[in-house]
Amino acid sequence: MTQGTRTAIVTGGLSGMGLAIARRLIRDGVDVTIGARRGGDAGIVRDILGAEGIAAHVAALDVRSSQSVNGFVDEVVARRGGVDILINTAGVYSEAAVIDHPDEVWDDQIDTNLSGTFRMIRAVMPHMKAAGFGRIVNLASVAAHHGMANNAAYCASKAGLLGLGRCVSLEGAAHGITCVSISPTWVETEMLKSFIDADIETTGKSRDEVRADYAASNPQHQLVQPEEIAELAAFLVSDAGRAITMEDVQVNAGSLW
């Protein structure tokens, strides 16, 4: 399943699952360009990628802006001639109850998680269609399938990705373009670690105790690791994933959440 000299874009690829996926694709010989809001800060990029020797191109990208998205994709196409793989992991998370829900919390999550993914797909699909090949993977969540109190915006944004993916799959099918989503439960990323830090502060529990609480939310009693998501993504974008489209793969460790 060697990817050869294919070209990939990974949004939100400077942390968590996006970074793990970028690292995994590079190991397969894929030319990876990471797009992130922090991508224009050379110091931050050096601190994140330099220590691990990750050979990826990095550029500033704000998926909330069509101008930013189109300019970013144009630069990748100018350098590489096209885009074969798109991994959409850029996303934000914030909690709020429906009653008195701030507009800005709703707008930011919908605009980033859902509309931002749409903008990226819209920008790369013409290039994939021209090449007769494309692999699109959207990072959804088990929140796309199950509700959570105080998470209307997040759950709605992730559920929207499933509908978007079905439409993209149908429009891309005749042109060798697949579109799938991955819906993980708790993954041990920087975001989860920040939740653990907050819980330690409010509960007085030890880090091991709080981490075990999150792990206990699934029957395996283990947190999913970013590298596990990366292995799945690498398979889905490979030649072996040709017939897997219009699909959402839940990585839920047996849990409904």
Q: Give the per-residue pLDDT at 1.
A: 39
Domain ranges in the chain? 7-186+225-251, 188-223
Q: Which CATH class is domain 7-186+225-251?
A: alpha beta
Determine if the pTM surpasses 0.85: yes
Query: Which of 106, 118, 133, 154 is flagged as catalytic?
Result: 154
49-53, 99-103, 121-125: range with lowest mean pLDDT: 49-53
Q: How far is CA 71 from CA 42, 124, 146, in A?
A: 19, 11, 36
Burial of 13 (0-12, 13-18, 19+ CB in 10 A): buried
Active site residue 154: yes
- pLDDT digits over 226-254, tens only? 999 999 999 999 999 999 999 999 999 99
What pLDDT, in 10s, does the model give residues 28-55? 999 999 999 999 888 889 888 976 778 8
Q: Are the CB atoms for 233 and 182 separated by under 8 Å? A: yes
Task: Give me the pLDDT at residue 85, please.
Answer: 98
